[in-house]
Amino acid sequence: MILEGNAHRFIKPDGNDNDINTDYVISGRYKFQCEDYNELATHVMEDLDSNFYKNIKKGDIIVAGKNFGCGSSREQAPIAIIYAGISCIIAKSFARIFFRNSFNKGLPLIECDTDKIEKGDKLNVDLEKGIIKNLTKNFDIKFNAIPPLMLKLLHDGGLVNHFKKNKGFNID
Amino acid sequence: MKFTGNVYRYGDNVNTDEIIPARYLNTSSEEELAKHCMEDIDIDFSKKVKKGDIIVAGKNFGCGSSREHAPISIKVSGVSCVIADTFARIFFRNAINIGLPIIELERANEKISDGDKIEVDLDNGIVKNLTKNVEYKINPFPPFMQKLINSGSLMNYIKSSKQN
Amino acid sequence: MGMTITEKILSYHLKRDSVKPGEFIEVNVDIVLANDVTAPIAIKSFKNLGLKDVFDNKKIALVPDHFTPNKDIKSAEQAKILRDFAREYNIVHYYDQGEVGVEHALLPEKGVVVAGDIVIGADSHTCTYGALGAFSTGVGSSDVAAIMATGKVWLKVPETIKFVIKGKLNKWVFAKDIILYIIGKIGVDGALYKSMEFTGDTISSLDMSSRMTICNMAIEAGGKNGIVPPDDITKKYLDERKERDYIFFNSDSDAKYSNVIEIDVNNLEPQIAFPHLPSNTKNISDVKNISLNQVVIGSCTNGRIEDLRIAAKVLEGKKVNKKVRTLIIPATPTIYKKAMEEGLFKIFLDAGAIISPPTCGPCLGGHMGILAKGERALATTNRNFVGRMGHPESEVYLSSPAVAAASAIKGEIASPEDI
Amino acid sequence: MWNDDNNKKSALGLTMVEKILSRHAGKIVKKGEICIADIDFAFGQDGTSSVIIDSFREMGVEKVFDKNKCAIILDHSCPSPIVGVSNIHKKIREFVKETGIILHDIGDGVCHELVPAKGYVKPGDLVLGADSHTCTYGALNMCSTGMGSTDVAAAMIAGKTWLKVPETIKFIANGKLKKGVYSKDLILYLIGQVSADGATYKACEYTGEAIDDLSIEARMTICNMAIEMGAKFGIMNFDKKLETWLEKKGIKDYKKVESDDNAEYLKIYEYDASSITPMVAMPHTVDNVASINDVKGTHIDEAYLGTCTNGRIEDLTIAANILKGKKINKNVRFIVAPASREIYLEAMEKGLIKIFVEAGAAVVSPGCGCCVGTHNGVPSDGENVISTANRNFKGRMGNNKAFIHLASPATVVSSAIEGKIADPREYLD
């Protein structure tokens, strides 16, 4: 699977982009009452960048520091990101529940050193080979290959489709 | 004062919850209120209403709560005046107090149809139905209220009386 | 010439011998009140006047009761406007969360309003205080701003309709049924612009709580105010809590009324107001198969301790139907505490009901029990307009606390007789 | 194959978590392995169940694996504050009716209080909840963890889930907590030590004298916040106290587990619990922890006592004992949310609710209250809140311009009395 898009980065009030929590991804103001995922998507990351949704082009990529997605278990977080048109997230590390939720929903997450990626860089991501090409700055970043189980979920189009296809779990 | 506009017609007992539902009462932003004006009985009202348009209704228009949000949402949505058979009491004073002209006209919503073009001449007490080519006489406001209306709003009235 | 109570209170405040219905007057106000929905607009208007001070910091009551505890940022910001204003102008009768109750239950309970007063409130149910022998009526926010500035309000002296209520109420028939019956009879504009004077042996036998229920709903018939002749029951109530001296006024025997309506309640049944108007009333014996999703017992109409006692009497040892969310909302912190101490809460909780802190909450579709599309509620509140308690396609029925409690058990609208 | 005798100390070198997962996988599994494991219980709440239902329906299934092992608990926005939520509640009630699973409707209480209190879970179990604080039940010597809605939907259908067996970090809290210092202070201190992602993907075993001294409820407070250090599981040993607790609830047929002496830990941290002061997590991260000595005096506008972390009878009792005969500062709004109907009833019978109401508190109906910012006390711009909850993210309580501080019930109530962050030790004899 090859993904391509421009990088978006966010700065928290404390000056970095570590620990971007699920309340930042989609505020509780919306997620508890909204069943329309397209509507939900319009509020994605709005407390960090109120223009973010408007500026997304399909396939764009979110880039962040460590522990992205910490906080609640609500799947509305990756759902809002997916419906906003984001193709994958690249971060130094991810919070556990967010990690599962994303792959379950078919959103690839990539762990690597993100320091050299800047806002606006055009990125090309090869999930199988484990390589990010920074097309703007012309360098490559290697990342740990996605575990086979996750790749299988991605190829099946998320856990729901995996279940439909296999009539249950089939990961061995 | 004279205005011309097209008519949105409603029935009897249009209440304040229909004019502005309570779920929007957590704000007093006038523009926000105007966006939801008449929403529960006429979902697209705020989108289709044009500046100067006129609401016509039957009896007891504005019954229910004391929320000034009701006449405010009507006024800010662009409506120039409301013509009804009768008005509920608190709505009546709220409208006068904020400077939204309201006119009592017997059997208003039988005489006037949805979409009619209406001209209102407040000073001479005449409502002209330009579509149907008919004229109706309206009772002038009592002198006390006239004074209020002429000062634009209750607040202006208080301001000027405080200065005197 | 003879005068009604309402005319007497107004002329007393004008320091004149008489007033005539239809006359425009500007009159001094004893208490002006507003809540978290109406006060922000009033405060904004007041600030625009550029005055240094309010007319009297002891005569203004600010009660943020509609959205307490605040449900979102917007309602929190609205409440903050009241809080900041109350601090800036040292408003004596300001009640923040924890002390706040539904305004029309709270102010009489605290003795803030008394007989003979003119009470003007930016809330339509301000007419409640007529039960104490006061003239009280609802206005809008601009009016409140003007009163906060000048201490005066403009009014048109209303004509009065006299209601003579006679007879003994049957078991399980209450004040709520009387007022619903009256509104059903005269319609939601049956008393438009008018004063409604409630008299007769039935009324004089009612406790203050019941009288408040009746006056509270005068507005639902379009009335300007509701009023009950003050008597020994009024005196006892006021003496236990009054902040100021009170004056009793009574109508002269030759007072002029626009209409006199006599009602015999000997055979009155519990009343149900069907959607979407309070006047759309039916006898309980004519109501069949109205299944429910929610029951609300509370509000300025029926959220007092007497109401909760009646509900508890019906619910004691019973369980509410699993399909029916049953919300009990004591109208003030004092009522809350009393109900708890009397063991009513235990009855409610054991029955499976939910107890909310004092708030107007679901009555106006604010929070604490909003209806989904297609859902149906029976409430002891005062209004059942379209969308009143939530989704525009939901339905609200109105009744007494007794019928509400019985219906919560049954899962459909039911008479307490059937429980 | 797994043998239940291994639950006792064995020579296999397994942690408690590895043993529980091995039993549920039907074979011995160790850290790093991915396995498919049977689950004992799965549930969602009203913030997550709408998506559970969507996923469930999308998978084209009609039945859950066992309707007595699946539940939905309405606690996040109860009673509903807005039509959107009402519609979701309605959808949930209809789903429950169709599938026959367990429902706790509005007013029953917070899921993490109800699930252990109603006996749905027991030692040795593997439990999934579509709520991040599902790790709470580790206090009962079991594995429980929060997952997303689709995971829980899959578990409700298959009775299974996929898991990576986590490495375990062991926390040893030696010594005794001082007067005025509670399990909340201990867990805040630990989170401050290891940071908000100090245990990401890991299991945390909490042991030591200070833990042994705690009641089961106070232990739940600690396991509840394991997620705030990023952990998958928080877990504690089985002991006499837990045995008595289970007996009282009538919970039987459980499988207690012990870590082996030669179990492999990723790290072992040791602390002296007696040196810990009351702690406060300052805005806007849970690991931004300070000693009360350094932050007391900070102005407070709103105080909140409740939640799955500290809304239990013990918490209400501690707060009421301090508050008795005193008034809440008139510039503070104090909100109390008992965690369940039973706790509300017990608090009422013990006279605690009376103390709160007389002091000027608003007691809201059982549920999550204002913790997640859905209603019941959303702060306004610029306000400071002190809360017994578990998270102080920006915007957590519904307003991203408010400042949330986390502390123990004792610290919260002392602060509500003074109108500023206060040291509870000054209120205890």
For D114, the 3-state DSSP assignment is: helix
Q: Is the peptide bond before C40 cis (omega within 30 degrees of 0)?
A: no
B76-80 average pLDDT score = 96
- CB nearest C41 (choices: B28, B64, B161): B28
* Strand ranges of the sheet holding C225-227, from the earlier edge strand across to the other edge: C225-227, C195-199, C160-166, C259-264
Whether pLDDT at C62 is above 80: yes
Interface test with chain D among A75, A153, A159, by most D beta carbons within 10 Å: A75
Residues pairing with B7 in the sheet: B54
Instruction: Kindly give, in sequence order, each residue whose CB lies less than 8 Å from that of residue C53, ignoring residues fewer than 6 positions away.
Output: C89
Residue A136 C-alpha, separation from nearest chain D C-alpha, in angstroms: 32
CA–CA gap between residue D98 and residue D92 (Å, rounded): 10
CA–CA gap between residue D422 and residue C79 (Å, rounded): 26
Residue C365 C-alpha, separation from nearest chain B C-alpha, in angstroms: 6
Residue of D nearest to C84 (CA): D331
Instruction: Kindly give, in sequence order, each residue whose CB lies less than 8 Å from that of residue C235, ignoring residues fewer than 6 positions away.
Output: C248
Is residue C197 very low, low, confident or very high in pLDDT (cuts 50, 70, 90)?
very high
Q: Which residues of D326-336 are buried (b: 16+ CB within 10 A; e: fewer)?
A: bebbeebbbbb
Q: Answer whether D159's CB lies under 8 Å from D39's CB.
A: yes
Q: Do C76 and D363 count as a contact with CB atoms less than 8 A apart?
A: no
pLDDT number for residue B158: 83
Residues pairing with D303 in the sheet: D334, D386
CA–CA gap between residue D138 and residue D123 (Å, rounded): 8
- CB nearest C24 (choices: B64, B142, B157): B142
A positions 106-125 inside 8 Å of D (CB): none
CA–CA gap between residue C117 and residue D227 (Å, rounded): 59
Whether pLDDT at A31 is above 70: no
Is residue A71 very low, low, confident or very high in pLDDT (cuts 50, 70, 90)?
confident
For D172, the 3-state DSSP assignment is: strand
Residue bearing tokens 């209440």: B15
- CB nearest C38 (choices: B26, B68, B145): B68
Q: Do D146 and A93 count as a contact with CB atoms less than 8 A apart?
A: no
Express each pLDDT in C4-47 by its tens digit.
999 999 999 999 999 999 999 999 999 999 999 999 999 999 99
How high is the mean pLDDT in each 10-residue block of chain D (429 residues)? 94 97 96 94 95 91 95 96 94 97 98 98 97 97 95 94 95 98 98 94 97 98 96 97 97 96 97 98 96 98 98 98 97 98 98 97 96 93 97 91 97 98 95
pLDDT number for residue A172: 63
Q: Is the peptide bond before B143 cis (omega within 30 degrees of 0)?
A: no
* Strand ranges of the sheet holding D384-387, from the earlier edge strand across to the other edge: D289-291, D279-281, D403-406, D384-387, D302-306, D333-337, D362-363
Q: Answer whether D117's CB lies under 8 Å from D101's CB.
A: no
Express each pLDDT in C221-244 by its tens digit.
999 999 999 999 999 999 999 889
Residue of D nearest to A94 (CA): D200
The secondary structure of B120-143 as a DSSP string is EETTTTEEEETTTTEEEE-PPPPH
How many Å separate Cα C107 from the centre of its chain? 11
Q: Choose among C99, C36, C92, C137: nearest CA to C243.
A: C92
- CB nearest D375 (choices: C71, C77, C354): C71
CA–CA gap between residue D153 and residue D64 (Å, rounded): 9
Helix%, strand%, coil% for chain D, nearest 5 = 40, 20, 45
Express each pLDDT in A7-28 by its tens digit.
999 998 888 999 999 989 988 7
Q: Choose among C65, C39, C105: nearest CA to C307.
A: C105
* Strand ranges of the sheet holding C93-94, from the earlier edge strand across to the other edge: C93-94, C60-63, C31-35, C118-122, C135-138
Angle formed at CA C289 by CA C288 and CA C293, multiple of 5 degrees: 130
Residues pairing with C135 in the sheet: C118
- CB nearest D48 (choices: A21, A75, A158): A75
Q: Is the peptide bond before D405 cis (omega within 30 degrees of 0)?
A: no
Whether pLDDT at A138 is above 80: yes
Give the orientation angle of helix A148-156 with respect to helix A159-166, to 10 degrees. 80
Angle formed at CA C365 by CA C360 and CA C367, multiple of 5 degrees: 65
Element (H, E) at C122: strand C118-122
Q: How many CA atoms lie less than 13 Å away from C397 in the CB half-sphere?
A: 30
Name the burial class of residue A55, with classes exposed (0-12), middle (13-18) and buried (19+) by CB atoms within 10 angstroms of its CB. exposed
Q: Choose among C10, C39, C5, C37: nearest CA to C22.
A: C10
CA–CA gap between residue A123 and residue C31 (Å, rounded): 68
Q: Answer whether C336's CB lies under 8 Å from C308's CB.
A: no
pLDDT number for residue B2: 87
Q: Do D81 and C370 count as a contact with CB atoms less than 8 A apart?
A: yes
Name the burial class of residue C285, with classes exposed (0-12), middle (13-18) and buried (19+) by CB atoms within 10 angstroms of its CB. exposed
Q: Answer whether C259's CB lies under 8 Å from C221's CB.
A: no
Q: Do B22 and C78 count as a contact with CB atoms less than 8 A apart?
A: no
Q: Which residues of C208-218 are buried (b: 16+ CB within 10 A; e: fewer)?
A: bbbbbbbbbbb
CA–CA gap between residue C209 and residue C197 (Å, rounded): 17
Q: Answer whether C137's CB lies under 8 Å from C126's CB.
A: yes
Whether pLDDT at C269 is above 90: yes
Q: Choose among D154, D158, D162: nearest CA to D52.
A: D154
Find chain B residues with C-beta within 8 A of C154's C-beta: 144, 148
CA–CA gap between residue C277 and residue C187 (Å, rounded): 9
Q: Do D151 and A100 count as a contact with CB atoms less than 8 A apart?
A: yes
Angle formed at CA D411 by CA D405 and CA D416, multiple of 5 degrees: 80
Contact of D217 with chain A, judged by CB distance below 8 Å, is answered with no
Torsion angle of alpha carbons D131, C389, A27, C40, nearest 10°? -140
Q: Do D378 and C79 count as a contact with CB atoms less than 8 A apart?
A: no
Copy the structure tokens of residue B138: 């309206």
pLDDT number for residue A73: 86
Whether pLDDT at A146 is above 90: no
Contact of D382 with chain A, judged by CB distance below 8 Å, is answered with no
Q: Answer whether D132's CB lies under 8 Å from D390's CB.
A: no
Name the burial class of residue B119, with classes exposed (0-12), middle (13-18) and buried (19+) by CB atoms within 10 angstroms of its CB. middle
Q: Which chains touch D (3 or more CB pairs under 8 A)?
A: A, C
Number of cross-chain residue pairs from C and D with Cβ atoms under 8 Å apart: 138
Whether pLDDT at B86 is above 70: yes
Residue of C nearest to D333 (CA): C97
Mean of per-residue pLDDT scores for chain C: 96
pLDDT number for residue A151: 87
CA–CA gap between residue A161 and residue C119 (Å, rounded): 66
- Pairing verdict, β C225-227 and C195-199: parallel
Copy the structure tokens of residue D129: 């909840």
For A21, the 3-state DSSP assignment is: strand
Express each pLDDT in C111-126 by its tens digit.
999 999 999 999 999 9
Residue D198 C-alpha, separation from nearest chain C C-alpha, in angstroms: 33
Instruction: Tell me, yes or no, whether chains D and A touch by having 3 or more C-beta pairs under 8 A.
Output: yes
Residue D368 C-alpha, separation from nearest chain A C-alpha, in angstroms: 13
Find chain C residues with C-beta within 8 A of B18's C-beta: 385-387
Whether pLDDT at B25 is above 90: no
* Cα distances (Å, whole numbers) of residue A147 to A79, A111, D33, D122: 22, 12, 11, 33
Q: Do C73 and D399 count as a contact with CB atoms less than 8 A apart?
A: yes
pLDDT number for residue B163: 67
Q: Answer whether C339's CB lies under 8 Å from C366's CB.
A: no
pLDDT number for residue C366: 92
C positions 125-184 inside 8 Å of B (CB): 126, 138-143, 145-146, 149-150, 154
Interface test with chain D among C67, C80, C335, C355, by most D beta carbons within 10 Å: C355
Residue of C nearest to B19 (CA): C386
Q: Answer whether D150's CB lies under 8 Å from A158's CB.
A: yes
Q: Answer whether C302's CB lies under 8 Å from C381's CB.
A: yes
C72-84 average pLDDT score = 94
Output phi, psi for D398, to 5 deg.
100, -10
A17-45 average pLDDT score = 86
Whether pLDDT at A35 is above 80: no
pLDDT number for residue D2: 93
Q: Answer whether C85's CB lies under 8 Å from C91's CB.
A: yes
Is residue A166 very low, low, confident or very high in pLDDT (cuts 50, 70, 90)?
confident
